[in-house]
Amino acid sequence: MSEPVKIISKKLIVAEGWHVALFLKWACRIYGVEHDVQVIEGGGVRELRRFLRTLKNIERFDQLETLVIARDAETSAEGASQSIRDAFRELDLPIPTQAFSFQSIPGKKTAFVLFPGPGATHGTLENLCLNLVDEDPILSCVDTCLDCIKTKKPRLTSTHDSKRKISIYLAGQEDKDLIYTNPGQAAIRNAWNSEHSAMIPFRQILTAM
C-alpha cells in the first residue's frame, strides 16, 4: 500500500492482504462484476483494522453505496467476525450480524466474508483453494509429500499446513508459471475452479453488491 488509496467505485471490497485481493479481483472478473466493484488491499491481518479506521478519511468514502470486508478466519471465525463488526461500527455503517449476509440502511449496505467460507470455525484462503481442486488426483501426492516432510522434521507444526499444501500443489502443475505463485497469483492465472460449490457464497456476495 505504498501509493495513496483512492476510492473510484461506489462498490468497494477491502481485502486482507495481497493474496486475498488478487483472488477477489479474479472472482470479480469471472463473475462479471469487475467493472462495477473495486478491490483494494487493506494490509495483513494486523494492519487491516488500522486501515479500516482510516477509510472514512479517504475522498469519496461518503459516496460508497456498498462496502464488503474480506479476511481469513485464521484461528477463530468468531473472533474475526467480531473484529469486522467493530470496524463497521467505528465507520458508522450498518453492522452485519453474520458473514455472507448483507445489512443495509437506505443508500448503504455492508457485508463481510471469511475464508474459507460459511460454517468454517477457522482457516484461510488456502483452505478454500484446496477445496476448489478437491477432485484433482495429485492432492493425494501432496498429502504424501507433506507427511514425508513431517517425518523428517518432527518439530514442524500443523499451523501452516494449508499454505504448505498449496505450495506443493502449485509446484506440481504443468504450467510452469504457476510453480512460484501464491494463491492470489494462481487465481489470476485461472488455477482454481470457479464453478465449485464452495465458491457459491462468494459469488452471491459479489454479484449482489
CATH number at 114 reads: 3.40.50
pLDDT tier at 109, thresholds 50, 70, 90: very high
Query: Which pairing describes strands 11-15 and 66-72: parallel, antiparallel, or unpaired?
Result: parallel
Q: What is the mean pLDDT of residues 70-81?
A: 97
Q: Is residue 6 one of the residues assigned to a domain? A: no
More confident residue, 1 or 113: 113
Domain count, the chain: 2
Answer yes or no: is pLDDT of 1 > 50.
no
Is residue 158 domain-shared with residue 68, that is, in the same domain? no
Q: Looking at the structure, do residues 201 and 113 belong to the same domain, yes or no?
A: yes
Q: What mean pLDDT comes out for the span 169-194?
A: 93
Confidence of residue 2 (pLDDT cuts 50, 70, 90): low
The type of residue at 197 is S
Q: Under a CB-based contact definition with an 8 Å cutoff, are residues 84 and 129 in contact?
A: no
Do 29 and 117 lie in a common domain? yes
Percent of the chain with pLDDT over 70: 99
Domain that holds residue 104: 11-122+194-208
Q: Where are the alpha helices (DSSP H) in the chain?
A: 17-30, 45-54, 77-90, 125-132, 139-152, 161-171, 183-188, 200-208
